[in-house]
Amino acid sequence: MSRIVLGVGASHSTLMNTNWDEVAHRDDARRFRAGLGEARELVEAARPDAVVVIGSNHFRGFFLDLMPAFTVGVAECVGSGESGTPGGPLPVDTDLARKLMWSLSDADFDAAFSLRLQVDHGITHALQYLLPDLDVPMVPVVMNMFAPPLPSLARCDAFGTVLRRAIESDGQDKRVLVVASGGLSHRLPWPKWFSAMSDDDRFLVEAWLNGRDSWKDYEVRRRQIIRAAEADINPEFDRRFLELLLEGDLSEIVAKSSAEIEEEAGNGAQEIRSWVAMSRALGAAKGRVLAYEPIDTWITGMAVAVLEPLPGT
């Protein structure tokens, strides 16, 4: 049977690509990037045959005309290529992806699937820094983390259980890496789609609804809005989350509602759903935090952590 050999959680920020010169002199930014480098070395040592990447989509592949809670890419997958992230066709492990879809269906998950999935940095940022050669086939899993109502944290936890079962029952002998992309605490200047008030709010909702064939037309103003936002990071929340992750028990977090997460750690913290699913898929594991830095310039609590399955699990 196939097995999970390593789990990695990594925050993402396209500002690390487009505005690195602004922070290259700062110790916190260098420490975070060094943490990604250490994680990349661990990935190389784990020799994965496939990688499952769980992340979000920032309205460059999914839009308000159709927003599934969970989507698995089972065939063609294309990176948007925004802000210096990988663009164009990405390799997909179609066999493992289809196995995951069947396992989700058998577990009464009504997940969507796509034979032509477009992903943005919610998936590709992790690939760029952990698997820069893009030579390991992946299974992209996109969770809705920005357009409420969101899948509950408990549902994302259950997704991790099904993912583990799918990998272990695929009839293959693959070494599988599971990557969680996104988080931790941060607050984006994004409105609720049902309560847009300011001109910027209405512009963003229009972009999220009508951008399927023209998302690039909205990019300049979108980035201006994000760059103008003040950082709202909660290091206490982040450090507690990482502590629980290493303890192997995220039940304290999973019990929280989406509203509680947003109030405590910002709407961007909803991306911890990917970490919750990854942790559950790993099961009993030993973990390390390779970096945690609340980087105001990137408006995000930036973390890198790894989980290694305990022998015999």
Instruction: Provide the annotated active-site residues.
Output: 121, 186
Specify whether the CB–CB gap between 193 and 24 falls below 8 A: no
Sign of CA dihedral 283, 284, 289, 294: positive
Specify whether the CB–CB gap between 43 and 207 falls below 8 A: no
| CB proximity list for 290: less than 8 A, separation 6 or greater | 35, 36, 38, 39, 304, 305, 306
Amino acid identity, residue 116? R
Q: Tell me, what DSSP letter sits at residue 231?
A: P
Specify whether the CB–CB gap between 303 and 183 falls below 8 A: yes
Half-sphere exposure of 283 (CA within 13 A, CB side): 15
